[in-house]
Amino acid sequence: MGRDPRLAQLLDQGSPAAGSPLGGSLAAGSPAAGSPAGGPRPALVVVDVQRDFGEPARIAPYGLDDRASVAVDAAVTRIGSLVDEARATGVPVVWVELGSDPARPWRSSTWLRGGDPDGPMPDDEPCRIGTEGAEWYRTAPAPGETRVVKRGYSGFLGTDLEARLTSAGIGWVTVVGLTTECCVLATAQDAMQLGWPVVVPQDATAAYDTDVHDAALTLIDLNVGVVTDADETVALWRESASASVSVPASASPVGAR
């Protein structure tokens, strides 16, 4: 079976127009630049690979069966491999993490889980800022890589992720992480609605129920992006890098903090 033609288009597109998600100005002090010749610049967006969402003892209360437990473990391993490949091919890695702030309880989330929306943040709130549960799990940002802290599901909601991707000349994104039906779907959907083509490797994301994972991938494939696998994603990155290897790098890294 051949490559999805939409993936091939990611390599064939020319430099983006100024003001579009494929262009825009760079970080302060850097000249404006679009994507390298040969196609728009990709980025890897890693979502919520944190101890509270991936460590077996911490996710056990969600009632994973053996298949789901194996799937989460395999996805985290695959994500780590994709991070290594992204760095090796010059693809920027953007780290999106949940940071639950007790001073700013998420009322609707508390209500949805049966709590008092006007009460304090529940003790079992995942990824409380400064706790072990909020730490990265089996993979972590390298010095200088972008970190974006969010309060809700999407990495774009209430953050500067859109501005960072735009200023770095990012033309399309690969979204991976935990969990498929929640923060991966929300982040991927917002990326698509903001104008970025989205690729989701099905083996680099997971849910706590394999049927839920499959259903989320169906939704992504219908309305958000192209569902592929990690091997195909790496092949795209390498081809993109090869196409632009003779062009001087003028785009900035995604702004770190």
37, pLDDT greater than 80 = no
pLDDT value for 251: 52
14 against 254, higher pLDDT: 254
Specify burial of residue 66 (Cβ count, 10 A radius: 0-12, 13-18, 19+): exposed
Domain 44-244 fold is Rossmann fold (3.40.50)
19, pLDDT greater than 90 = no
69, pLDDT greater than 60 = yes
Residue range 164-195, pLDDT digits in tens = 999 999 999 999 999 999 999 999 999 999 99
Average pLDDT of the residues in 12-19: 48
**Which residue do the tokens 């049966």 mark?**
114
Give start and end residues of each alpha helix (H) in 94-248: 107-112, 161-167, 185-193, 210-223, 230-244
119, pLDDT greater than 60 = yes
Backbone φ and ψ for 199, nearest 5 degrees, come out as -120, 130
> Domain boundaries in the chain?
44-244
235, pLDDT greater than 80 = yes
What's the pLDDT band for 200 if we cut at 50, 70, 90? very high
**CB contact burial 69-85 (16+ within 10 A = b; e otherwise):** eebbeebbebbbebbeb
Average pLDDT of the residues in 96-106: 93
pLDDT value for 123: 85
Q: Is the peptide bond before 89 cis (omega within 30 degrees of 0)?
A: no
131 is written with which tokens?
Answer: 């706790």
What's the pLDDT band for 29 if we cut at 50, 70, 90? very low
28, pLDDT greater than 50 = no
